[in-house]
Amino acid sequence: MPLTPSYGDRRIGPIQRLYRKTEKRLIQWLAKTVAPGVGHGWAWAYNALSRLLKFRVGVDRIMSETDNVMQPRVESAIRGAWRDGLTEARRDAGPAPAPDERPMWRIIDDTTEAIRGAHRHVPRSLDNVYREIVDAAVHPREIGEQARRDAVQRALEAFARQGITGFMDSRGRRYDFVTYVETAVRSAITRAEVDAYCAQAVSAGHDLVIVSDVAGSCPLCRPFEGQVLSITGNTVGAIARDNSTGHAVRVRVLCSLAQARERGLWHRNCRHTLKVWTPDDPAPPRAARVPAEVRERRRRQRSAARRNRIRERVGFVAQS
């Protein structure tokens, strides 16, 4: 497989663009629906709450349109990742019959269902935000229509800075809506690459793979670097023959692929990859060592990107 796996870098773009567009539409629809009206106090609040049903219908429409586009884009990304895994395995293990694609379809189904679960959460979350904005405008720091307008604007900007929240993965990590979807798809792409590679390797008669070395790896996955894993879990200890010397080579099998995953290998943002292990080529794929200044520059770029997204969301409010 590649020196460092893609983590979806080549395939995430269409999904990123879809969900950032959806986020923009939702924020603008919220601002457009909750803000209008004259007056202040409970009279304005009554009118604003009377538009809540209209707001819900608009949110449902936006999410339905997003859902219709999401499924084929996710399927395309994961199918592409599966093909990438097969291609790399054929380079490493040689030609062999293509493996069963049912695991790929399970990844597609699991990913789309996880995203649709997030879709179902969005209307409830925005319903609560709508009510909170109305409540903030009913009790502004000053009295009058302008004070109410200012209170609505402050509440909208506070929401835009935070984003649509309340999304949690299986390990308890919290995300905003767009990041949650992006992370789910990236993780699925990695799984498809790895599973396809391993399935093709087994088809070619290999059960042992060795884990790559990645610069800056975390404590969860560092113990697996340079270790040999059994794809099926059937190989506990292995003796192979070096074709160049004819000597028997014993290798220690750390654990199965499934056990490695359970212990943290291929966690969120993990970029480790695998290579078929043979006694003729026993070394793990080497990592490209990234200088500390380059890592720091990338960290600053990620921080800047997060700040830009926040500014964009606040800008969406101003455009409405």
Per-residue confidence of the chain (320 residues) as pLDDT tens digits?
554 556 678 899 999 999 999 999 999 999 999 987 766 678 888 899 999 999 999 999 999 999 999 999 999 999 999 999 999 999 999 999 999 999 999 999 999 999 999 999 999 999 999 999 998 888 766 677 888 888 888 999 999 888 898 887 767 778 899 999 999 999 999 999 999 999 999 999 999 999 887 776 778 888 888 889 999 988 877 766 665 666 677 788 889 999 999 998 888 777 788 889 888 777 777 655 556 676 678 778 878 888 888 888 888 787 76
CA 196 to chain centre: 19
Cα-based distances in Å from 303 to 25, 139, 190, 271, 307: 24, 35, 24, 20, 6
Structure tokens at 226: 């340079």
Closest C-alpha to 289, from 225, 190, 213, 211: 213
Contact between 26 and 164 under an 8 Å Cβ cutoff? The reply is: yes
Contact between 79 and 106 under an 8 Å Cβ cutoff? The reply is: no
Closest C-alpha to 15, from 84, 115, 144: 115
Query: What pTM did the predictor assign?
Result: 0.85
Contact between 284 and 315 under an 8 Å Cβ cutoff? The reply is: no
